[in-house]
Structure 1
């Protein structure tokens, strides 16, 4: 039932209409989430004095837990974080060579350090989410909560409990869905695989029908967990959305202009109606003045990486050139150039969105 609810919630997250464009995290962020946990069967072994024998702990498929994290993003997709986690699973039986039954809970909790990498899909047309992968290592404690296991053949009852810890590891696959109404806020959906290394040792006492008792050690191995997680994440220094740019038209002149500027929305390479009007004017005037070639120069602001800005400025220049050809300009007379963020109209620091720098210049030579 919990798994069905979690999957339904995941589908609702993907369908939210308020998702914004994904951006790489730069600086401090925090996150938290709730999880459904499925624990694999654990193999057990007991000391000879415990009077139990080896067997298996069989968990129910109704585990749950939570995670809280603090991290730092480098702005290039790489992130590092520290998390605290808690998982609880019901143990419904303990199987050995002799039939046994019992009921209890097992808790796993600890601290992990994770390294994650966000995969930028914006160049491929996917900007509403950012998938990511990660690995982690740390320390986890396992607590067996007074498990009472009865031998259905002899009637002997074994009481098993205690806490033990060991080093742990995990793998993470997830996706973040930014929310446009709150810059920096994102919903997250993850799958995690977490394993605790080595054995966890607990105390065992076995009592017979006559009331006599035996004491020894009880160990579990292969503590492996599969978790589905839904959460939220907030990055503190996410830039605020830039205001809608105001297209700047060429000043009226007696002679046709030789330079035309076409502006673009942030992280976009498609044309607005105003942009098509300006391109149409440039195409028409190219036949009225003496023109040997037409330069189409693409530019971007500094809100992305230099490599991404170079690709974006080229896409913008190619879009404008294609519109000129549709307006009757011969393709052989068009010279396409891309300058990335190296020729700003307005000087800004790295990471700043500037509408005047998101442009293509059409120059009639």
Structure 2
């Protein structure tokens, strides 16, 4: 049996389910872009100078409705290795004005753009335990500060005997909050740590106060300052990329001895439950097979090496790996192998079969390797 075949067979026999996705540990960056829908909402918006509009019996409310626009975000964050992440995000949204309604009348001319940009602090959680075919869902919340910038937002509506019009070129910053729901797909085959993301975001701000100019024609008309007041709500859908700098690299390929070698190594893997050094029934079967093969091929040296996963301290796992190796060596002795033929050593979690972040339980790393020489 070659080393490659032994590793594959032992893995299949000892693992009933696939390993969980590895959580982000350390620094990461991300960026995304997509579509933004700005919710139409009633504004405290007069159809001209406020007092003149009130004298004319016009309402003091209106609407500014926008088309679908676009959104872009960039972030830098830190993963704590347990699914929790914290990040700082910069964002930008742009929507063109579609219609303006003044005092219940839709404007016969409307235009302009609404820009929003700001900085948010986000807290997120990755559900690595729900990894589905490489897809990992996540949720998050954020708080920060966002500026709403009306650029040449304008409209004019006709009323009996007069016309009301407005124009706003102003910017106002307010406290902002958001909710995030998304899913990431691991692209480690392209580059370790790389993932593509798809997410939905809701972003809201407290009430903005934006100044402009209004004109009311006809009897008692005139021009004067106006103020538009209203909250801002956005629904965004984004696609993006995320890169974690400290993602585990793939395990190195194990070189197999050439077929012409006179004494090829024969390797067996014995797996253990978490934080245990006692042998399972399956482990005893594998050790018995190794002992029988050692006697059949006339092995003169048997290397027994213990290993542990990356939960717990290095000192504890070093002792645990030696205890596991000693348990296997004792069972080999009961199977007829002389003690002076066996070399026992422990490596703790320094030589993982599957690289993981600290604190991750990985069944394939809780093992003892038996090598027949």
Task: Normalising by structure 1, report the TM-score.
Answer: 0.64
- Closer/same/farther in 2, CA of residues 90 and 242 from structure 1, 3 Å limit: same
Match of 1:186 among 156, 171, 195: 195
Asked if residue 261 in structure 1 is aligned to residue 269 in structure 2, the reply is yes
Asked if residue 139 in structure 1 is aligned to residue 145 in structure 2, the reply is yes
- Closer/same/farther in 2, CA of residues 26 and 211 from structure 1, 3 Å limit: farther
Asked if residue 28 in structure 1 is aligned to residue 34 in structure 2, the reply is no
| Alpha-carbon distance in 2 for matches of 1:245, 1:127 | 26
Between the two structures, name the one with larger relative contact order (CA 8 Å, sep ≥ 6): 2
State the 1:150 CA deviation: 0.8
Asked if residue 55 in structure 1 is aligned to residue 54 in structure 2, the reply is no
Structure with higher Rg: it is 2
Residue 148 of structure 2 contacts residue 208 of structure 2 at CA under 8 Å; is this kept in 1? Answer: no
Partner of 1:335: none
Partner of 2:261: none
Residue 141 of structure 1 contacts residue 165 of structure 1 at CA under 8 Å; is this kept in 2? Answer: yes
Written as runs of structure 1 = structure 2, the 5 A alignment for 1:277-296 is 279=286, 282=289
| Alpha-carbon distance in 2 for matches of 1:349, 1:155 | 80
Gapped regions of structure 1 (runs ≥ 5): 1-19, 249-258, 265-274, 289-297, 311-342
| Alpha-carbon distance in 1 for matches of 2:247, 2:120 | 26
Match of 1:85 among 91, 96, 100: 91
| Alpha-carbon distance in 1 for matches of 2:208, 2:138 | 31
| Alpha-carbon distance in 2 for matches of 1:174, 1:115 | 13
Residue 188 of structure 1 contacts residue 231 of structure 1 at CA under 8 Å; is this kept in 2? Answer: yes
Asked if residue 204 in structure 1 is aligned to residue 213 in structure 2, the reply is yes
| Alpha-carbon distance in 2 for matches of 1:234, 1:50 | 57
State the 1:43 CA deviation: 1.4
State the 1:210 CA deviation: 9.5
Structure 1 residue runs of 4+, over 4 Å off? 209-212, 245-248, 278-281, 343-347, 349-352, 354-357, 359-363
Partner of 1:104: 112
Partner of 1:41: 40
| Alpha-carbon distance in 1 for matches of 2:363, 2:268 | 13
| Alpha-carbon distance in 1 for matches of 2:153, 2:226 | 14
- Closer/same/farther in 2, CA of residues 170 and 92 from structure 1, 3 Å limit: same
Residue 308 of structure 2 contacts residue 349 of structure 2 at CA under 8 Å; is this kept in 1? Answer: no
Partner of 1:268: none
Q: Once the two structures are superposed, what CA deviation does each residue of 1:200-235 show, in whole Å capped at 9, x if it has no partner?
A: 323232253799742223223231100001011111
- DSSP-derived class of the 1:242 partner: coil
State the 1:186 CA deviation: 0.9
Question: What number of residue pairs does the alignment pair up?
Answer: 279
Residue 263 of structure 1 contacts residue 360 of structure 1 at CA under 8 Å; is this kept in 2? Answer: yes
Task: Normalising by structure 2, report the TM-score.
Answer: 0.63
Asked if residue 169 in structure 1 is aligned to residue 177 in structure 2, the reply is yes
State which drifts further: 92-101 or 174-183: 92-101
Partner of 2:122: 114
| Alpha-carbon distance in 2 for matches of 1:352, 1:283 | 23
